[in-house]
Amino acid sequence: MGRRAYIVVGIVVLLLLGGAVGAYAWDKSQEDEIAEGISIGDVDVGGMSADEARAAVRADLIKPLDKPVTVTYDGTRYILQPEDLEIGADLDGMVDDALEAGREEGLPSRIWRYATGGEVDETIQPTVSYSHEAIDEFVAKAAAAINQDPVDATIEPAAASLNAVPGEPGRTLHTDELKSAVEEAVQNPQNRTVQAQVDEVQPAVSTKDLAEKYPVYLTVDRANFTLRLWKDLKVVKSYPIAVGQVGLETPAGTYTINDKQVNPYWHVPDSAWAGDLAGKVIPPGPDNPLQARWMGFFDGAGVHGTSDVASLGSAASHGCIRMAVPDVIELYDQVPLGTPIYVG
């Protein structure tokens, strides 16, 4: 190879070295500039220096996070304050990630991008820290306020009627979904409001179920000396009765039949009105005022037969409900233990 050829080769080598040195210097000058097309969250930081990116992210992403998160349900707002959240952000880490994202390509690709004005299409997810415990406590408080147990339909008895009271549905908050939605809102400066999702919970007993729940019911009308037998919430028979005399009134209220006996023994109360019989036990027979059947419901008070049929239609007993013997025998077989009895 002649002298001229060596010179040409030398010039080419020098040009290549010069180009490489120039390319390296150009790339070096871009180290502190974030590539175009890169964003941190919703903040476009392409073309910014590290300091400029920090300022932009602080202003457009971090500062707006210092706002309450609001959960709404049925016109009520539940507010999670920013001071409770203890929000923090790794600002330096996010900017460093943005810078690094623009330098992941090889040097030739970067030089080509600089020369052609190309972009790096990448979004850096914001690194935001917050108190998970505060969110858990907030969701628990919202659930306590929103959740409501369903109320079963029931019967509101009166002396001469059984009135159906409709049930009320309950509601249950989707706590896991709400927690996730609040966590997203905590990190989203544009949307700080969450709509709570709630399920309606139907009562176990509806109005149409009441007849099945209360197949038998008794009501006592003390003022009119009448006991009514209800089946499937309809009166099937009314019986004349005697009730407690003044000072020894039959106790008013709603009870259940809790004791049933055929030809019961009479355990005489240890009371002054019992005289010499106080505290004694009287076996079945003519001396026992509890004739034929006994259906107890409260503190010694019950329904029983009586041989003193002349007392029916009056306040004559010591607190019990007296019935004619044929009537109490007929009633007894239709009234299971646990049957509700209302005394009004």
**Catalytic annotation, residues:** 304, 320
Asked if residues 162 and 219 have their Cβ atoms less than 8 Å apart, the reply is yes
In whole angstroms, what is the distance from residue 224 CA to residue 118 CA? 98
Tell me the residue type at 79: I
Helix (H, G, I), strand (E, B) or coil at 198: strand
- Are the C-beta atoms of 88 and 128 separated by less than 8 Å? yes
SS3 of 113, please?
Answer: helix
CA–CA gap between residue 234 and residue 214 (Å, rounded): 11
Burial (CB count <10 Å: 0-12, 13-18, 19+), residue 287? exposed
Q: Is 208 exposed, middle or buried (0-12, 13-18, 19+ CB in 10 A)?
A: exposed
Q: Are 216 and 231 in contact (CB under 8 A)?
A: yes
**CA atoms within 13 A of residue 83's CA, in its CB half-sphere:** 0
Residue 103 phi/psi, 5° resolution?
Answer: -120, 15
Tell me whether strands 259-262 and 154-158 are parallel, antiparallel or unpaired: unpaired
